Structure 1
Amino acid sequence: MSTALLFTGAAALPGATALAASAVPVQAEDRTEEVTARVTGYVQGTGIVIDRGVRDGLKVGDRVIFTERGGRQQFGTILELEGRVSTIRGEDPQFRPEPGTRASILVPKSRFETALDVRTGKVPVPDGATDATEALLPEEPKAPETDGKWTRPEDGFTMDMPLLAEVNAVHPARRASRLTGRSYLSWDRIVDSETERGDSFFRLGGGVYGENLFGKGGVLHFDGEVNARKTQVPDFADESESNFRLDRLSYTLGGTRHDWNRLQVGRFLQDGMSEFGVLDGASWGTRTGGGDSFGGSIGFLPEPDKDQKSFQDFQVAGWYRWVADEREILSVTAGYQKTWHNGSQDRDLLVLKTQYLPVEGWNVFGSAWVDLYSNGDFGKTSGPALTYMVVDARRTFENDFALNLDYRHQEYPQLLRAEFPPVGLPQIQDAHVDRLGGTLSKWTSGGAAAPLAKRLYLRAGGWADEEDTGGDAELGVDLYDLLADDARLDLAVFSSAAKFSSLIGARVRYGRFGPKRSWSVQYEIRQNDVTGFDGNADNLYQHRARGSYELFRASGLSASLSGELQFQDREEQFFLGLFLQRSF
C-alpha cells in the first residue's frame, strides 16, 4: 500500500466517522463531565486498577478509555469499585497498561448533585424512606408556632428546577488537602543454563498525587523509580549499573468545572495530545462553552530511554479538539509539533485523530501521524509522509457477539533526535510494517456474569514489511467457574507463518481469581519450523511452564510472586519475579 494512499485514508477518516455519526439518532442524555484517572496496577485475572472510584462519581458498568503514550486507545468496563479505587475489565484480554497510563470516564453531571454511598455507589436510603428520591428530600418541618402566616422569604426555587439546583460544588481551593499515592518494589531473576548467564533486575519507586496542598486548588504529581541491573557471565567480571528515573514531576492548576483554563508545568506526558510525548516545560489548554478544547505547549523533550537526557530537543506544539456536542460521542483532534535538535531544525509532525463512542453501535478510533519533510531530510521525499497510523473499530452485538477490527502502519521517521536505535539509510527509506487483524468473540447466554460462562474467540491477522509477508491466528475458549467459584480455564491453539519460519502451538491455563488472592498455572508448547537449517535443526520444540500467586489487602498492600521455566533441546531458562506494592 503506497504512502500516498495511506495518507488519503487518514485524511478521510474523520469525515467517514462523522458520516457514520449522522446516521445515529440523538438521544436525550445528561450532560457529561470527564473524570481523569491513572492506572495504579494490573491484577492478573482480575483486571486493571485505577485511582478513581465512587467518590469521583463512577459506577459499575461505566466505560473507561485508556490512552497509551503512542496515542492508541484501549477500552474497558468498570466491574468493581470502592471509594477511591476501581477495577476494570479490558475489552482486549492482552491489554496490560503500565502504571501511570491515563484513563478517562465520561460521567453524567447529574451524579455530582447527589451524595453517593461510598460502598455501593448509590444514594443511601435511610430507614423510613421508600426510595433514593425520598431520601434526598428534607424532613418535613414542624409547623411553626405563629399566627399561621408564612414567614420564610422566597429564595427563587421553582418546582421545575432540579432538587439540588441551588447546591454548588465545592471549589478545589476550598477543599481539604489530600495526599494519595503508591510505593512499590520489583525484583526479577533470569538464569540461562546453556551460557550459565544470570541477570537480576531491581526497581524501587513510587508515585504521589497531592490535591490542594498549597491552598490554590492545584494538583502535584510525582512518579519516579530507581533501577538497578546486574549481569553474571562465567569467566568475565560481573556487570552492574543503576540509575534514577524521573517519569513525572508536575504541578497543575485549573482544568476543572470551576476553571476551564488548565496550566501544567514540570515533567509530564502532554495532556491535550499525548502523541507529542513527555515534556519538560509548560502546557496550557482551555475549553469552550460548546465542549471544544484547544491548547499548546513549549519546552524540551527528554530522550525515551533509561537516561532520559533532556535540553537537547526543544519543541513547540498546538492542538484543537472538536466535539459534535456536549456528550462528546464524536470528536476530531488535530495537532502540530515543531522540534529543534541542538538548535537545528528537526521534525515537523502533524497528528490527526478521531473517535466515535456511541452508547450502542460501532466504536471507532483512528490516529495518523504525518511527517512533513523538506529537501534537507535525507532518505525521504520532500512533502508529507505517513509515519504511523492505527485504526480500531469494535462493536458488541445483542446476541453476545463482539467484533474488533484493527489496522496499523508504521515506519521510521527521519530524525536528528536520538529516539530510536540507530538504523541505516536503507531502513529509513524502505522499512515499514502494515498489519490488519481482527478478533471475533462470543459469550454464552448471560455473558461473563452467568454461571459457568464460556467465551469463544478467534483472533487472526496478516502483516507485510519491506521483505516479507505473514499471518497468524489463535482459536480459544475461556471457561469460567469451572470446578470452583472465581476459577477459569483457558484453552487455545495458535499458529503463524512467514517466509522463513512458521510455528504451531497450544496453551492451557487454569487459576482462581478472587478479590483477596489469585493464583494460576500455565503450560505452553510450540513447534517451530525454520527454513535454511540442516538436519533436525530446522524443527525446534519449545516448552513453557509458568505459575503465579497474588495477594491483595484492603489496606492497599498487594504482593505477587511468579516463576517460569522455558526449555528446548539442551537449553533451559528460569525466571523468578517478586512484586510488592502499597497504595495509600
Structure 2
Amino acid sequence: MNRIARSALIVLFVLSAGARVDAQEPNIRRLEVTVTAVSGKSIYIDIGREALVEPGDQLRLFPPGGSPVRAEILSVSRTSSRAVIRGSTAGIDVGTRGEVWIAEARVAEDSEQAESKPQASATPPPVEPPEVQAPEQPAVEEPKADEHPPWEHPPESWDSEMPLLAPAYTLAPEERDVRIHGRAFTGFDYTDDGKFDSTYQSWRSGMDLEIENGFGRGGVLFLEADFYTRSANVDDGEDDTDTDFRLDRASYRWGGLRGQPDSWEVGRFFHMEFPELGALDGVEFVHRMDSGSRLGASLGFLPEPTDEFKTAKDFGAAVFHRYVSDESEAFTFGTAYQKTMHEGSLDRDLLINALEYHPSRNTTVHATSWVDFYTSSDDRKNSSVELTQLLFDAQHRSDAGHGVGIFASRLRWPDMKRHEFQSLTDEQIEDNKVSRIGTNGWLKLSKRTRLSSRVDYWEDQDDSGESGRLRLGVRDFFYDRGEVSFEAYGSKGKFSDTVGGRVNANRRFDNGFLNLYWDTTEFHQVDFDGDQEDLLDHRAGLSYDTSVLGKWDVSIFVENRFGDEQDSWSVGFFLQRRF
C-alpha cells in the first residue's frame, strides 16, 4: 500500500472511531484568530482579554502551503494579544489564520461570574457609592414585628452636612494575602529526514511565576525562564548541538492599582505600556492621570532579540504618552520616543505611534508606525526621516456572523549599529523594502457553513506579486461536534510560485480536541533550470490537545512530509501545568 493510501486510511479510521463516542461537554474550546501585525518572531492577533485569552495559551497558525506553526501567548490587552513564534516565521504575515485553544472550565467560570452580576442595560446606570450602615436614629413606636438582631457596628458621628452614603474601605495592596500562580512546561520535537538521512530534535522546559505581595509591600514578582537544547545529526556533515538557558523575565512591579496612579517595574521585562519598544533590562515608570491617559519613561539595557537574549551591548532611554478617551478605551493614541546607544556609540532615534479605535463593539482599527531619524553619520540613508515600518488592520464583524477586513504593511530596514536583523549588506539597508496590502472576509452561509477568503498584493524594490486563498468550513455535517474544511490557495512569490489545497478535519471529544490535515502544494522555482524546477510537496498530520483536571494542558502532534525531494516524519508534545 503506498504512503498516500496508508495516511488516508489512518485519517478515516480516527474520524470514524471518534464519531461513535457519546457526546458530552468538551473541555477545550477553539477560538479562531487573525494575525494583525508581525515584528520578527512577535505577532499580534485580533482577540484578547475579552475572549478569555491568557498568557501561556497555545496558538497555532496556518500559513498557506506550510506546516502549522506553533506560538505562545505572552501578553494580552482588552482586544488583542501578543505571541511569540518558537520556530520558523516563514509564511506568517498579516492576515494569516490561526486558532487559540482555551480550557472550557475557564469559559464556565467567566459565565458564572457574569450571571452573578446585574444585567447591563442600553444606558449605563449612574455610579453609586457603596452601601454602608446609616447612622442610628431615635426610636419610634411601631407595631411590634420580628425583632432585628442588634447592630454590631458602633454609632458614628454624623451631622446634616454629611452625605448619607459614604465610601467603603478595601484592603490596601500590602494588606492582602500572598498569592502565587503561574505554570511549568516542557516540550519536545523530533524530525527524521529520510531523504537526507538526518535527524533533528529540540527540548524546551521552563516556568512562569507570579508572586503577589510576596514581600508585604503590595508588589508583584515575575519570573519567566526556560532551558532548551537543540541538536542536528546530519549525514555527510558536521553534527551540531546547542544548549542554553534563557531568562525571559525577572522583574518586580509595584503601584498602578486603585488609588495608586504611579507604577514602577525594575528588572528584565517587556515594556508594559509600549511593548513595541521590546525587552528591557532596567526600569520603567508609568503615571496614570485622572482622565485615564498615561505617560512614562524607561531606561536600561536592551537585550538582543535572539534565542540567547544577550544584553549589555545596547542601552536605551524612552519617553511615552498614551491618550485614552474614556474608561472603555474606545479610542487610544500613543507616542513613544526612544534613543539608543550601541557599545557606547550613539545609535537609533526612533519614534513610534500606536492607534487603537473601537467605533462600535463589532469594529476594530489598529495602526502602528515606526519612524527613524538619521544624522550625517548614517551614510546608508539618503533622507533624515524615514517611515521604516507601518502596520494597519481594520476588521468589522456583523451580528449575523459575517465580517470583512483590510490590512496593509510597509517595511524598510533602518540604518543602525544594533544587531536586530539578519546580516544585511549596505545596499540592502539602503534600497530594500516590502509593502503589502490586502483584504479578508468571511460569510456565515448557514448555521453550519462558513466561507472565508483572503487576497493581498505585495511589492519590493525589484518585484511584485500576489497571493490568495479561499476556505469553506462545514460544522457538524459529516459527523457531530466537529468541522471539515476545504481550502485552495496560490501565490506568486519572489523566488517561487505556489498553488495548492488543504483539507482539515477536527473533532471535539469528551476530553480533548483532535485536528487532522492533508496539504498538497506544487512549487514552481522562478528562474531555475533543472529537475527541481517544479516540485510537488505533501503534508499529512494530526494533533491532539486536552486539558486534564483543569490544570494540565497536553498537546501532541505527528506530521509526515513526502513528495519530490521530501521524505520526513516529525513528532512532538507539549505539556504544561498551571497553578
* Residue 522 of structure 1 pairs with residue 517 of structure 2: yes
8 Å CA contact 2:28, 2:512 repeated in 1: no
Give the aligned partner of residue 213 of structure 1.
Answer: 214
State the secondary structure of the residue aligned to 1:504.
strand
CA distance in 1, matches of 2:197, 2:42: 41
Identify which of 138, 141, 149 aligns with 1:148: 141
Structure 2: where are the runs of 5+ without partners? Answer: 1-26, 80-107, 118-124, 143-147
State the secondary structure of the residue aligned to 2:408.
strand
Change beyond 3 A, Cα 1:162–1:253: farther
State the secondary structure of the residue aligned to 1:311.
coil
The structural deviation recorded for 1:480 is 1.7
Change beyond 3 A, Cα 1:400–1:560: closer
* Residue 75 of structure 1 pairs with residue 75 of structure 2: no
* Residue 457 of structure 1 pairs with residue 452 of structure 2: yes
* Residue 102 of structure 1 pairs with residue 75 of structure 2: yes
CA distance in 1, matches of 2:471, 2:63: 12
Deviations 1:549-581 (A, max 9, x none): 122112411211101111122531211111111
CA distance in 2, matches of 1:117, 1:176: 22
State the secondary structure of the residue aligned to 1:426.
helix
* Residue 563 of structure 1 pairs with residue 558 of structure 2: yes
The structural deviation recorded for 1:290 is 1.1
State the secondary structure of the residue aligned to 1:418.
coil
Deviations 1:73-116 (A, max 9, x none): 5322779869x99989999999988435211238xxxxxxxxx9
Change beyond 3 A, Cα 1:578–1:87: closer
Change beyond 3 A, Cα 1:251–1:79: closer
The structural deviation recorded for 1:162 is 12
CA distance in 2, matches of 1:373, 1:85: 37
The structural deviation recorded for 1:397 is 2.6
Q: Structure 2 matches for 1:44-63, cutoff 5 A?
A: 46-47=30-31
Moved more, 508-517 or 537-546: 508-517
Give the aligned partner of residue 12 of structure 1.
Answer: none
State the secondary structure of the residue aligned to 1:99.
strand
Give the aligned partner of residue 120 of structure 1.
Answer: 112
8 Å CA contact 1:473, 1:496 repeated in 2: yes
Change beyond 3 A, Cα 1:145–1:267: same
The structural deviation recorded for 1:215 is 1.0
Q: What amino acid sits opposite 2:347 in the alignment?
A: D
Give the aligned partner of residue 321 of structure 1.
Answer: 322
Question: TM-score of the superposition, structure 1-length normalised?
Answer: 0.76
Q: Give the aligned length.
A: 497
The structural deviation recorded for 1:71 is 8.6
CA distance in 1, matches of 2:345, 2:289: 36
Change beyond 3 A, Cα 1:417–1:78: closer
Q: Structure 2 matches for 1:77-476, cutoff 5 A?
A: 98-105=71-78, 120-122=112-114, 124=116, 148=141, 166-236=167-237, 238-360=239-361, 362-444=363-445, 450=447, 453-476=448-471
The structural deviation recorded for 1:260 is 1.4
State the secondary structure of the residue aligned to 2:437.
strand
Say which structure, 1 or 2, has more relative contact order (CA 8 Å, 6+ apart). 2
The structural deviation recorded for 1:168 is 3.9
Give 4+ residue runs of structure 1 displaced > 4 Å after superposition. Answer: 65-73, 77-82, 84-98, 116-119, 144-147, 149-158
The structural deviation recorded for 1:529 is 2.1
Q: What amino acid sits opposite 1:380 in the alignment?
A: K
CA distance in 2, matches of 1:233, 1:91: 28
The structural deviation recorded for 1:517 is 0.6
- Please provide the CA RMSD for this pair: 3.9
The structural deviation recorded for 1:147 is 6.6
Deviations 1:273-329 (A, max 9, x none): 111110000000011111111000000001111222211111110001112233321
* Residue 572 of structure 1 pairs with residue 567 of structure 2: yes
Change beyond 3 A, Cα 1:307–1:88: closer
Change beyond 3 A, Cα 1:168–1:75: farther
Moved more, 330-339 or 474-483: 474-483
CA distance in 2, matches of 1:427, 1:245: 31
Change beyond 3 A, Cα 1:583–1:262: same
* Residue 542 of structure 1 pairs with residue 534 of structure 2: no
CA distance in 2, matches of 1:289, 1:199: 55
State the secondary structure of the residue aligned to 1:101.
strand
The structural deviation recorded for 1:365 is 1.0
The structural deviation recorded for 1:237 is 5.4
Structure 1: where are the runs of 5+ without partners? Answer: 1-42, 50-64, 107-115, 126-132
State the secondary structure of the residue aligned to 2:414.
coil
Change beyond 3 A, Cα 1:117–1:167: farther
Change beyond 3 A, Cα 1:237–1:430: closer
8 Å CA contact 2:59, 2:73 repeated in 1: no
Q: What amino acid sits opposite 2:451 in the alignment?
A: L
